[in-house]
């Protein structure tokens, strides 16, 4: 029987950075599916990296990697990079996908000639805020390389330079990280997923009692969030997702978030590491196209087992010799 390690970070709800980590429900749900056909060992990827020794002792045929990491813009890619150094095959995006897609500003600048994207500005130093005095409002202020809307609340949408300066400096004081300021799209939150071999699946819609799907709605008030299958014809959106996956050379899977305003779909971000929560966006999008939780987990593993080593992404592809 083939051996799989389920490699994860556990959300114990003790620190803000754990927001990105997986719940016991998600981890057990994945384990229960995998253990029907494989010998499975759960290993928590601790901060001291003791997990590497446990992994080498077990010597799995495949690592089901759902790690998010603890700090920094490369935190998601660390685990893929380490697994590659030890020549372990693993599921999901590769280290290049994980590194690039965690940089919202970079990804949207690579794709803006092909997909509708909000106009954005990077703020890397406090003095950069002085360069944004004449931009159009409203804009939304967010951390450039974070997930789960960390650092975002009702003050994140700003309508003047003074509000912008206050919010940017507040994020610098709290996190000391690069900040993305971009055009605020007043619309509907939609998500699609891409699964290698299956293509674009979805969409699902996120309904919540907030102006946008912010940090509070994703954590404290998550019981008030309703993620639903969205029925209808979404050929344009699926084509956009397929193009994004092809341009970024996505391996494994990704979740792509949009905002729909009138008849346009604006790209908000590409999430290469995803949550497999049974009621979350990724699984709900899979259900839109008839795949159950068990189906999608099994498919991802079977696809990963098609090769003995992880196939690496080039990160950004030229399509038909046109950038």
pLDDT digits (tens, 9 = 90+) for 252-299: 999 999 999 998 999 999 999 999 999 999 999 999 999 999 999 999
Is 19 among the domain residues? yes
Average pLDDT over residues 124-146: 93
Is 113 among the domain residues? no
> How many angstroms separate the CA atoms of 74 and 101, rounded?
10
Is 14 among the domain residues? yes
Residue-wise pLDDT for 147-186, tens only, equals 656 778 888 999 999 999 999 999 999 998 899 999 999 9
Q: How confident is the model at residue 214, as a pLDDT?
A: 45
Average pLDDT over residues 110-114: 95
DSSP assignment of 146-166: --TTTT-SGGGEE-SHHHHHH
> How many angstroms separate the CA atoms of 237 and 53, rounded?
44
Q: How confident is the model at residue 81, as a pLDDT?
A: 97
Is 112 among the domain residues? no
Domain that holds residue 146: 119-183
Q: Which domain CATH number covers 177?
A: 3.30.1490.20
Q: What pTM value is reported for the model?
A: 0.91
How many structural domains does the chain have?
Answer: 3
Which residue's structure tokens are 């789960």?
148
Q: How confident is the model at residue 26, as a pLDDT?
A: 96
Q: State what percent of residues in the chain have pLDDT above 90.
A: 78
Average model confidence (pLDDT) for the chain? 91
Is 102 among the domain residues? no
Q: How confident is the model at residue 311, as a pLDDT?
A: 85
- Let me know whether 127 and 56 are in one domain: no
**64, 91 Cβ separation under 8 angstroms:** yes
- Let me know whether 133 and 54 are in one domain: no
Q: Is the pLDDT of residue 213 over 60?
A: no
Q: Is the pLDDT of residue 219 over 80?
A: no
Average pLDDT over residues 80-99: 97
Q: Which domain CATH number covers 283?
A: 3.30.470.20
Q: Quote the tokens at residue 147.
A: 């997930």
> How many angstroms separate the CA atoms of 193 and 31, rounded?
22
- Let me know whether 178 and 193 are in one domain: no
Q: How confident is the model at residue 229, as a pLDDT?
A: 85
> How many angstroms separate the CA atoms of 198 and 139, rounded?
36
Q: State what percent of residues in the chain have pLDDT above 70.
A: 92
Band of pLDDT at residue 320, cut at 50, 70 and 90: low
Q: Which domain CATH number covers 12?
A: 3.40.50.20
> How many angstroms separate the CA atoms of 116 and 267, rounded?
6
Average pLDDT over residues 104-120: 96
């Amino acid at each position: 029987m083939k051996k799989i390690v389920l490699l994860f970070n556990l959300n114990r709800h003790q620190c803000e950075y754990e927001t990105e980590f997986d719940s016991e429900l998600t981890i057990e749900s994945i384990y229960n599916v995998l253990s029907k056909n494989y010998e499975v060992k759960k290993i928590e990827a601790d901060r001291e990296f003791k997990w590497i020794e446990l992994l080498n002792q077990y010597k799995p045929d495949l690592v089901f990697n759902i790690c998010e990491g603890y700090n920094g813009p490369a935190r998601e890619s660390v685990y893929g990079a380490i697994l590659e150094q030890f020549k372990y095959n693993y599921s999901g995006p590769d280290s290049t996908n994980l590194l690039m897609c965690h940089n919202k500003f970079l990804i949207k600048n690579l794709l803006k000639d092909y997909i509708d994207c909000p106009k954005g500005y990077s703020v890397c130093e406090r003095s950069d805020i002085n360069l944004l005095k004449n931009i159009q409002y409203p804009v939304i202020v967010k951390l450039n390389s974070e997930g789960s809307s960390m650092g975002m609340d009702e003050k994140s949408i700003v309508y003047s330079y003074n509000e912008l300066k206050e919010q940017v400096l507040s994020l610098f004081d709290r996190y000391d990280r690069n900040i993305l300021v971009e055009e605020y799209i007043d619309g509907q939150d939609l998500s699609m997923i891409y699964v290698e071999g299956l293509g674009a699946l979805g969409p699902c819609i996120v309904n919540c009692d907030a102006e946008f799907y912010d940090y509070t709605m994703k954590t404290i008030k998550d019981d008030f969030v309703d993620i639903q299958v969205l029925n209808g014809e979404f050929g344009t959106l699926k084509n956009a997702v397929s193009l994004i996956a092809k341009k970024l050379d996505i391996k494994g899977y990704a979740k792509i978030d949009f905002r729909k305003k009138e008849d346009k779909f604006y790209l908000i971000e590409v999430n290469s590491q995803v949550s497999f929560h049974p009621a979350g966006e990724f699984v709900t999008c899979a259900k839109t196209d008839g795949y159950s939780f068990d189906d999608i987990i099994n498919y991802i593993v079977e696809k990963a087992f098609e090769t003995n080593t992880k196939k690496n992404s080039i990160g950004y592809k030229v399509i038909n010799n046109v950038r």
